[in-house]
Amino acid sequence: MSDLSLAVNERKLLRCLLRFYREIGPGATPGLKGLDEEAGLERWDLSETVTVLRAKGLIEYWELQPAVRLTPEGLRAVLGLPEEGDD
């Protein structure tokens, strides 16, 4: 996973999901509504970012809610990122 390149928006969303993971636990599955603001993304960027991270296997997506959560690979990837502001 160390060679995984992530765009700025992808890192923002992963860090946001990590905050949910730390606050709520591994089952944290935040809905997409409002997640753009929580992650510091523009609303139109959220959908694309979710699609990319899902394709990379870093998040899971539930259409019925709609909601997302980190996969084990996503957790490892976000924990390996430099501190916010270092990138």
85 within a domain of the structure (yes/no): no
Q: Is a pLDDT exceeding 80 seen at residue 20?
A: yes
86 within a domain of the structure (yes/no): no
Could you give the CA distance from residue 38 to residue 32 in angstroms, rounded to a whole number? 10
- DSSP type of residue 31: B
Record the pTM.
0.87
* Cβ neighbours of 16 (radius 10 Å): 20
Domain residues for 37? 8-79
CB 79 within 8 A of CB 18: yes
Average the pLDDT over 64-74 and give the result: 93
In total, how many domains does the chain have? 1
72 within a domain of the structure (yes/no): yes
22 within a domain of the structure (yes/no): yes
Instruction: Please report, for the domain that includes residue 41, its CATH number.
Output: 1.10.10.10
Could you give the CA distance from residue 37 to residue 59 in angstroms, rounded to a whole number? 18
75 within a domain of the structure (yes/no): yes
Residue that wins the pLDDT comparison between 37 and 84: 37
